[in-house]
Amino acid sequence: MKVTDVRCAVIGENPVVRVVTDAGISGYGPVEFTKPFIRPHVAMLREAVIGVDPTLVERAMIPLRPRGAFKPWGAAVSAIEIALWDIAGKAAGVPVHKLLGGKVRDRVRVYNGGIRTPMTRFEPEDFAAAVAAMKAAPHGFTLVKQQIGFHSPMRNAVPGFHLGEHRTTPFHSWIDRGLLTERGMSHMIACVAAMKAVLGEEIGLALDCGPGMAVPDAIRFARAMERFNLVWLEDMITGDYSTHAGADLYAEVTRATATPTHTGEQVYLRQNFRELIERKAVRVIGPDPCDIGGLAELKFVAEYADLHGVLMAPHGIADGLLGIAALVQVCAALPDNYIAFELPAIRPGWWPEILTGVPEVQDGFIVVPDAPGLGVEFDIGRAQLHLSEADKGFFD
């Protein structure tokens, strides 16, 4: 079997990579939030994939990995890797998790992630209402994550929140940062107290905090959170679209508090997780399979983290069911340092009509499917209705 083509299309809001073979088997890989540049990036990688045996995934990836980088530049590499595993599983007639060593759990825990209640105000009562909605959601979440501080409009909506510059930009990244004011710190603590009053001990609470916090504020906030027994504090210092991991800075914070720290969604390849793990700079790492370099790369990092006592909670905001399918397969095969993965949003809502086979969330878990490959199939007739003119040949 040989690869004959690599294609990319945007289906609704979701970029998808398709790897085509001469055996009539195609594999699909989800792409995370990279619509402006994903087509040229996939096109740049195409010639390195044409003619390879897609079932020899590791061999195929050797020339591709040097052509990616920290989020979002590893997205095309990651999507191709996931598509190759999809082909390998279909060709062998087994689910991807069996090719990754086999599932060690029959169901995987998820948390709300991309499923959130929109907020227009950022007072304690608004945060309480937001987590109350997640508590009442039909998914039965046992763990809820809420955006706060620099990872939310709170940084601008609360007067005098921090002492840094306020920058207006269309990009979500490490743009606004600065020392918190006493008012800003007190406001965040009050919001957390309001959320915990709703969730109690029944549902765990994690916070997505940045990036943007200064090290002294991260320490003060983490210590203030100790009485709330949070699951983790995510990306306080670096994170989304920042160009480094900041292991030395996180290590200082982590050693100063009992509250678990978390980072890693933007980090590309195992080599760039090494310092975070070996220094135990954070208690939890959260690589995204659509940014780290794919499923095998994530599993390697999870196993290395487990050797060092570092926990694993994979990121997952590749919108759509295809991203969920990929996360379920790899998370089923992770060691026992696994906590939960971030459940992507399904946008637009018609995705369940065009992609079949993804099981639903029940009681906060997804049962691991045993269908070949990623376990999902496109209804091509219906999916084609949602393709733009430029992408009409995607399924041909």
Which CATH number covers residue 78?
A: 3.30.390.10
Do 246 and 340 lie in a common domain? yes
Treating both helix axes as pointing N-terminal to C-terminal, what angle do 124-135 and 182-199 enclose, rounded to 10 degrees? 30
How many structural domains comprise the chain? 2
CA distance 213 to 122: 18
Q: Is the pTM of this model over 0.95?
A: yes
Burial class of residue 349 (count of CB atoms within 10 Å of its CB; 0-12, 13-18, 19+)? exposed
- Sheet containing strand 341-342, edge to edge, reads 341-342, 107-111, 365-367
Do 339 and 195 lie in a common domain? yes
3-state helix/strand/coil string of 267-336: CCCHHHCHHHHHCCCCCEECCCHHHHCCHHHHHHHHHHHHHCCCEECCCCCCCCHHHHHHHHHHHHCCCC
Do 17 and 118 lie in a common domain? no
Residue 332 main-chain phi, psi, to 5 deg: -65, -25
Do 225 and 118 lie in a common domain? yes
Do 272 and 352 lie in a common domain? yes
Do 121 and 73 lie in a common domain? no
pLDDT grade, residue 175 (50/70/90)?
Answer: confident
Please report whether residue 116 resides in a domain. Answer: yes
Distance of alpha carbon 353 from the chain centroid: 23
Please report whether residue 27 resides in a domain. Answer: yes
pLDDT at position 171 is 66
Do 245 and 385 lie in a common domain? no
Do 179 and 318 lie in a common domain? yes
Do 368 and 383 lie in a common domain? no
Is the pLDDT assigned to residue 318 strictly greater than 80?
Answer: no
pLDDT tens digits along 199-220:
999 999 999 998 999 999 999 9
pLDDT tens digits along 24-44:
999 999 998 767 788 899 999
Domain interval for residue 369:
98-373
Do 55 and 199 lie in a common domain? no
pLDDT at position 173 is 59
Indicate the residue type of 395. F
Please report whether residue 396 resides in a domain. Answer: no
Do 50 and 198 lie in a common domain? no
Q: How many CB atoms lie within 10 A of CB 360?
A: 10
